A = this chain, B = another copy of it.
Amino acid sequence: MSKACNYAVKGIESNECLRRGNTYYKEGNTMDIINGGVTAAQGFMAADCAAGIKYEGRTDMAMVFSKEPCECAGTFTSNVVKAACVVWDKQIVDSGRKMHGVIVNSGIANACTGQEGFDACMATAKAAEEILGIPYDTIAVASTGVIGMQLPVNKLTEGVRKMAPALSESAEAGTAASRAIMTTDTVNKEIAVTFDIGGSKVTLGGMSKGSGMIHPNMCTMLAFLTTDVSIDKALMQKALSEVVKDTFNMISVDGDTSTNDTLLIMANGLAGNRKITEEGKEYDTFREALFHVCRTLAMKMAKDGEGASRLFTAKVVNAKSKDDARTLARSVISSNLSKAAIFGCDANFGRFLCAMGYSGVSFRQEDVELFFESKNGRLQVFKCGKPLDFDEEEALKILKADEITVFIDMHEGKEEAQAWGCDLTYDYVKINADYRS
């Protein structure tokens, strides 16, 4: 494990570094990407089942569980209309209690459901208490799907009773869980990494789902992370809250901040490392792994946005402040007109400048340089306040790739940010014009 590299790319990639094969190297640390997801870390089990909540012929409930009690941290939707399950989970995280697991259903969001919604959370957790012998108030619940419908409680509790005996530490069980929480997602999303903390091998894994009602404000989806690291709860929350700002909060599919956004992390300490109780090298290593895991899941969600055919990235460099950089990048990838142009492979760069202009950040358009980038090339289209006479054929070639980056140099400072979205397609409209049926 040598001191392998300097940063491969300056600034914006400062949380990354050189990648060789599946191994990332940074300042003496390595991080290995391994197969698996929520069951990769020691002591975490998962199960899934077809509970018939809404969908037929597919699984729609998942459970993640650790016998060992876990320190937990979370970030939740900033929408004032919060789903019952969000209120439930936030209460557990804020209480300081340990967490044993989370039970998720896809199909019905349990939002705008009044007391009945809270009763459904309670019934779900109580069913887990009964069968697993752990206190109901250490079980998180999460829901995703239609807002304003009541959950069928009997199906939920029946689902818990099916899943509990089937809990498994296998990678397959984790993958099956990541499939069961999908709604309009077209692919399941999971990742796992290992890294070293003071000589102990630590594993961090996770799964998430999108793919509509996705807009940066706190986390904007469901994501569940599991790790065997031993870490102080407050430090884990700090790392999570920081990392979210540059990962899940930097994606947008449609500008709608959901009622249900939930990001939970559970740490059961089974890796046996000396507990991380203060900031320093070990905290940094953990935070870095967390960043990588969150960013990977976030990018997967953006790329699999409802109806999406392309991952659409905005990189802003040399902005006056980090907040400016984030705001500009998010505004660009959130603009319907920018997203439609990306769908149409149209080098209509004025739309990106327009979206920057109404973002709330002040700047001089004369300072801005704008480029299109993809695996097919790089092309500058705007400089010194006016359009460049670029080759439309060249632009089309670049924009036909399945991952497009708009690179924006503000020439005003040193801060950078990156945001991820997707194109706006016919399929987005189709999916959402008749979502409930």
Interface residues of chain A, those whose CB is within 8 Å of chain B, are 78-82, 109, 111-117, 146-150, 212-213, 215, 217, 254-259, 334-337, 340-341, 343-344, 346, 348-351, 353-358, 361-363, 365-366, 381-382, 384-387, 424-426, 428-430, 432-437
Contacts and interface: CB of A to CB of B under 8 A. Distances in A.
A148 B338 CA distance: 14
B429 A343 contact: yes
24 contacts: A79-B357, A80-B356, A80-B357, A80-B365, A109-B350, A112-B353, A112-B382, A114-B385, A116-B386, A147-B348, A148-B353, A148-B381, A150-B386, A217-B358, A254-B336, A254-B337, A255-B335, A257-B357, A340-B428, A341-B432, A341-B433, A346-B435, A425-B429, A426-B430
A145 to B, nearest CB: 10
B147 A358 contact: no
Q: How would you classify the secondary structure of chain A's contact residues: helix, strand, loop or mixed? A: loop
B356 A81 contact: yes
A387 B336 contact: no
A257 B387 contact: no
Given A80-B362, A148-B353, A213-B354, 15 more contacts: A79-B357, A81-B358, A111-B353, A111-B354, A112-B365, A113-B385, A114-B366, A115-B385, A149-B350, A150-B386, A336-B336, A336-B432, A344-B432, A344-B433, A428-B429
Contact of A365 (B81, B150, B363): B81
Given A147-B351, A147-B353, A256-B351, A424 B435 contact: no
A148 B365 CA distance: 11
Contacts of A346: 433-437
Nearest to A364: B80
A401 to B, nearest CB: 16
The list of the 5 closest CB pairs from A to B, nearest first, reads A147-B350, A344-B433, A81-B357, A114-B386, A340-B432
A113 B386 contact: yes
A55 B378 CA distance: 31
A306 to B, nearest CB: 9
A435 B81 CA distance: 37
Nearest to A255: B336
A387 B344 contact: no
Contacts of A354: 79, 81, 111, 147, 213, 256-259
Contacts of A366: 114
A128 to B, nearest CB: 25
A342 to B, nearest CB: 9
Contact of A257 (B217, B358, B429, B434): B358
A385 B385 CA distance: 51
Contacts of A435: 340-341, 344, 346, 348
Contacts of A115: 385-386
A350 B256 contact: no
A355 B256 contact: yes
A80 B357 CA distance: 5
B357 A150 contact: no
A206 to B, nearest CB: 25
A392 B8 CA distance: 57
B350 A111 contact: yes
B341 A259 contact: no
Given A81-B356, A116-B386, A384-B114, A335 B256 contact: yes
Most chain B CB within a 10 A radius of its CB, from A78, A337, A385:
A337
Contacts of A337: 212-213, 254, 256, 432
A424 B429 contact: yes
Contacts of A258: 354
The listed residue with most B CB atoms (<10 A of its CB), out of A149, A336, A346, A362, is: A336
Contacts of A254: 336-337
A380 to B, nearest CB: 13
